[in-house]
Chain A
Amino acid sequence: MRVLRMVLENFRGIDGPREIVFAERGVTLVEGPNEAGKSSIAEALRLVRDFKASSQAADVRAVRPTHVQADPRVEVELRTGPYHLVYAKTFGRKGTTQLTVHTPTAESHTGDAAHDRASAIFAETVDAELWRALHLVQGQPLDQPVLADLEPLHLALAERDAGEGAEVHADLLARVEAEYLTYFTATGRPTGEYARLRESLDTAIEQERQARAEVESVMRLVERHERLRLRRDDLDGELADQRKEAQNLRDRSDALDQLRDECREARQVAHGAEQSALAARRAQQRRAELLEEFAAAQEALALAEQTADIARGELAKLESAPMPDDPDGAIDQAREALDDAAARLDAARAESEWRRAHERLERAHEAVRQLNEASESLASHTVTADVLTALVDAHTAWRTAEARSLTGAPQILVERLGETVPVLDGVAMEGDTAQIAALRPTVVELPDGVRITVSPDAQIAERADDAEAAQQDYRRLLAQAGVTDLDDARERAARRDEARRQVDAAAAALRAVLDGATEAELAAEVAALSQRRTQVDDVPETAEARAGYEVAKQRYEQVVRDSQLARQERARRAALAQALRERVASADADVVQARARCERAALVLEAARAEASDEEVEAGLARADEAHAQALATVEALDRDLREHGADQIAADLATAEEVLGSTERRAQQLAEELVGVDAQLELLGRDGLQDAANRAAEKVADLERRWASLDARARAARRLHQTLSDHAQKARQRYVRPFREAIVDLGRTVFGEGFDVEISDELAIVSRTLDGRTVPFGSLSGGAREQLGVLGRIATARLVSEESGAPVVLDDALGYADPIRRQRMMATLHRVAREGATQIIVLTCEPGRFDRLAPDAYVRLEA
């Protein structure tokens, strides 16, 4: 399609009428400030094509002028496909439409007919999607147009690929897709009628199975009925047989009844005889018992009398025997003798003890006296071992100090040479020589002769003082101890030790004598013993007293033992006598009883004999026994007779047969009841028409299966066709990629240089741009680059599609993002394409300088 001319009147800001003439081949540049109505050119084309003149759609109302009351009018002159036409619409309530077709044949239409005819021509010759795709408006999101579904582009690419006659078949694809979606969802699951029918069929199959199962259950019931009936027939036969058999046995049994009656009577007779014999035996036993009782009573009486006599004799003998004396007097006597002997023994023992105690007391007194003496001696010796030790220590200290003072002290040896007696420290020297140690300033003076003073150093003097002090200590101790010197002290200490030993010895002797007691206690004991030994007059010797006591004691014990024996004997005799007396009494009672029993037995026996004598009783028993034996023999004979006729066997067989018959009859009854039950069930089930239900179910399955077979075949066909066609369409689309890429690269190299390349997806979208070896995804490119590629894609598409089916490329305020150099190169490209003359390009701009280098084939300036 090419727009040749357009007239706008009362359209948005244009009052008009305003005519715009486009270059049919090449570039038309429409320039004008904002609001001048540039965009109205594209809008007017869309409205005149899509809306009826009378339309009140919002899009139509939007183009009405706001400042005047007037209807917008659009007139376009187009060349599209084989048609050259002028199409005009005045939009309003009474809108008008006018279509004039010049070629291929002249047509003229008005009103709806004009609209319809024009729509038909557009549908036939212009691809709406392509028209939209080739229209680029600045400020729109910088997306690429969706080119994959553009039929003219496909067709062009297919022709390039396959030569003349290629088609895109978009309509076919859509129809196949629609057919496929009738049966399947987009993800391939059955849907709609196809899914529902399958479900219905499955349900119907299940229902048929159930219905059939119910019919089969009736069949089984019928079979069961048949089995029961057959069993019942069998049982009826068996019952007849068994009844016959039982009757036969009953007849035979009846025939033996006479014999059996005789036998029964004989048994009764025998039973009677047995009873009589038993009675006779009981009478005979009774008589024997009476006789036995009488004899026993007599014997018991004799025994009782004998027992009483014996007891009485024993009692008499016991009572006549002498009784031992009462032993109490002898015990008292022996007790007195024993006490006396004990007193004498105690006195003898006290005498002996008193002697020993008295002697101990004497020794104690002596020991006390010695102790007192020793104690006095000890008290008179005061030099104790401690005092002696102190003296020895003081003596040693003094001697030691003295020795130390002498050491180093100047030794003065004074020898008298003449007569003159030297005076030493004022004391005339005795003897011819004197050696003195000058411990202090010592003066040796020869009267009138010489005085020599020897002075020792201070240390020696100090030592001499110490020695002197030690000596004084020693002397003081001696004085305190009352001794003259150390030896005296030692002697006195030895004497004190001796006195101590004597005290200890005396104390030990006293302790030995007292043996833990005190002297007073010993004295008291002596006094007590003295009193005890005076209890008897003539105190015997201890041994004698002990012997006397032992004799008395033995005597006493003897007497006690004897008296115990005597006491036991007396008790035993008393008890024995009592027992014998009781025996006598008991035996007497027994005798009375036995006598009474004897009398009773005699009376009973006498009475029995009055009825029948002993002999008569014996004879009666013999007779009864014989009669019984005879009756038994008769029974035996009859029994034998019955046995010989097999009566028992017949009776047993009859009992068995009747039992079996009863059992069979019960079974037959059960069977009959069961049959009635099954009959009732069948009667009920029969009314339900189960076979009919099964038939209906089978028919439904058949119907659904037929529908399913048909629908399933159609669905499978649709799926297969859809799959196959889609696969091939996809493959074809992949093949279109190469020529489309080449078309873009061809244009792009002018703009971007020789290093330009693009990658194109199956959907014919630009995936990435490569420039001098650097590949950038489309989305990551700058806005300018994306817009430039978008323009290139559109121009490439417009170049590719055939002249008849093409549409103008409209660039509405485009390339605003491009830098001057790129824009210049884009201009060059547009120029080049325009020169080819196959593509109509309409450039709308509000920026006059932007397209200066374009050199358009037509130029329109719009003023606001």
Chain B
Amino acid sequence: MRFVATADWQLGMPAAFLPDEARARFAQDRIEVLRRIGAVAHDHDAQFVVVAGDVFDANQLHRSVVARTFDALREWSVPVYLLPGNHDPLDAASIYRAREFVEARPDHVHVLDAAGVHEVADGVDVVAAPWFTKFPLEDLVAGALAEVRPEPARIRVLVGHGGLLGIDRVDPALIDREALVRALEERRVDVAILGDRHSCTEVAPRLWYPGAPEATRHRETDPGHVLLVEVDDDSHEVAVTPVRVGRWSFRTLDAPVDGVDDLDLLEAELEAIEDKHLTAVRLVLTGTLTVGEKARLDALLEQSADRFAAVRVWERHTDLAVRPDDEEFRELGLTGFAADAVDDLVAQLDGEHAQESRDALGLLYRLVGGTVRGPA
């Protein structure tokens, strides 16, 4: 028996970190990836697809998101089981209860709207642990498993959502990893699929986070996958294969920049990135540049911004100093009071208005016609 496990579609999520132009593509691609997931299920002859929570990024979304989602899901040839997670809990305002959802729902789309066992195929059950509120006061997975006893004749798939009980012991909704591993060992369930972590992760044998099928932010380590899960009908042995479906990537580049060579390197590195329009780059810049070099860096970033989905400097981790080169302004022929003004601004680089002074030097450099020298 094969099925596809996925989670954290986060449909309708905002993307304030992206520029306006990339944002629409980003939103559309979150829908497009569903078609690729359907293709994976179809191509691998999966019996069904489970989504382990956070199908939608919020309950108060415009209902057009639901319509577009259903449009994509209608192309699927297999049933899909949606689990309400912490972003889209089955509370009073739940999107799953909305008329637009209930009335337009295709027949092969099911909501796991009750905790416990749901038969999804011949001899196959899903043990669901849906969220009914944003802030549950218990381990929902443990609750769903409480009454489940081993039944060798059936294949059982646990579908839950949430973090694992670890360092954070304050949140009562965290999933007791040990208890879940025990349930797997006792074969009360054969495989456990959890949502919430956006990186594709195997936590323990047969205990997986598929991660988000399309990246959502920088700090995810390995997003962009779904899991193809195969359970042997007889032995109940489980084989899990991540399949890449995502196209977007969020890259963080550490770039030491001390001079023209480093700038050349950075430029080359940016140039080498594929699918620039689907890539958001975050730069951590460290080092010291001359005013001219800084102007070149600015020009490089400006050009890159047009090509990438987003390019921005991660200010929090950036430590970039700008010093005018001794030759730099001399070559520009600034003399007399203009030279005095340059000296004055340079002196202010260590003062209260360092940033302003740095930018002022850059502006002066530009206005007197300093050239931005790129690689030959």
Contacts and interface: CB of A to CB of B under 8 A. Distances in A.
A172 interface: yes
Given A162-B336, A720-B357, A175 B367 contact: yes
B335 A167 contact: yes
A33 interface: no
A215 B61 CA distance: 10
A689 B63 contact: yes
Given A162-B335, A692-B60, A686 B20 contact: no
A732 B92 contact: no
Interface string B9-48: 0001111110110010000000000000000000000000
B60 A724 contact: no
Contact of A225 (B92, B98, B335): B92
Interface of A: 158, 161-162, 165-169, 172, 175-176, 179, 215, 218-219, 221-222, 225-226, 229, 678-679, 682-683, 685-692, 694-696, 698-699, 701-703, 706, 713-714, 716-721, 724-725, 727-729, 731-732
B16 A218 contact: no
Contacts of B61: 689, 691-692
B92 A728 contact: no
Contact of B336 (A158, A179, A219, A721): A158
A838 B76 CA distance: 94
Contacts of B260: none
A718 B23 CA distance: 32
Nearest to B335: A167
B337 A732 contact: yes
5 contacts: A686-B60, A720-B359, A724-B341, A725-B337, A728-B341
A698 B60 contact: no
Interface of B: 12-17, 19-20, 23, 57-65, 91-93, 95, 98-100, 133-134, 312, 333-338, 340-341, 344-345, 348, 353, 355-357, 359-364, 367-368
A696 B14 CA distance: 7
Contact of B93 (A167, A172, A685, A692): A685
B54 to A, nearest CB: 13
A694 B334 CA distance: 51
Given A167-B335, A179-B367, A679-B92, A716 B356 contact: yes
B16 to A, nearest CB: 4
B92 A176 contact: no
Contacts of B353: 720
A717 B336 contact: no
B100 A226 contact: no
Q: Which 6 A-B pairs have the closest CB atoms?
A: A689-B62, A717-B359, A695-B14, A225-B92, A702-B16, A691-B60
B60 A172 contact: no
A257 B71 CA distance: 70
B60 A229 contact: no
A718 B363 contact: yes
Contact of A725 (B14, B341, B362): B341
Contacts of B64: 689
Contact of A169 (B14, B91, B336, B357): B336
Nearest to B20: A703
A243 to B, nearest CB: 27
A699 B12 CA distance: 13
B337 A690 contact: no
Contacts of A713: 355-356, 359
Nearest to A690: B60
Contact of A729 (B93, B334, B337): B337
A687 to B, nearest CB: 6
A714 to B, nearest CB: 7
A218 B60 contact: yes
A221 B94 CA distance: 12
B96 to A, nearest CB: 11
B252 to A, nearest CB: 18
Most buried by A among B59, B99, B336, B363: B336
A689 B61 CA distance: 4
A714 B337 contact: no
Contacts of A685: 60, 93
A215 B15 contact: no
Contacts of B345: 720-721, 724
B338 A167 contact: yes
Nearest to B87: A691
A716 B348 CA distance: 14
Contact of B360 (A687, A691, A720): A720
Given A692-B60, A721-B360, A728-B337, A687 B19 contact: no
A727 B328 CA distance: 22
Contacts of A161: 336
Contacts of B348: 720, 724
A28 to B, nearest CB: 35
Contacts of B95: 686
Nearest to B364: A721
Contacts of B355: 713, 716
Nearest to B355: A713
Contacts of B65: 689, 692
Contact of A701 (B16, B312, B364): B16
A716 B353 CA distance: 10
Contacts of A689: 60-65
Contacts of B13: 695
B98 A687 contact: yes
A706 B63 CA distance: 30
A728 B23 contact: no
A732 B59 contact: no
A699 B356 contact: no
A169 B58 CA distance: 60
A813 B98 CA distance: 96
A729 B63 CA distance: 63
B60 A732 contact: no
Nearest to B368: A172
A682 B356 contact: no
Q: Which of B17, B340, B362 has the most CB of A within 10 A?
A: B340
B159 to A, nearest CB: 23
A683 B99 contact: yes
Given A226-B133, A703-B20, A720 B341 contact: no
A166 B20 contact: no
Contacts of B344: 724, 727-728
B363 A717 contact: yes
A670 B317 CA distance: 57
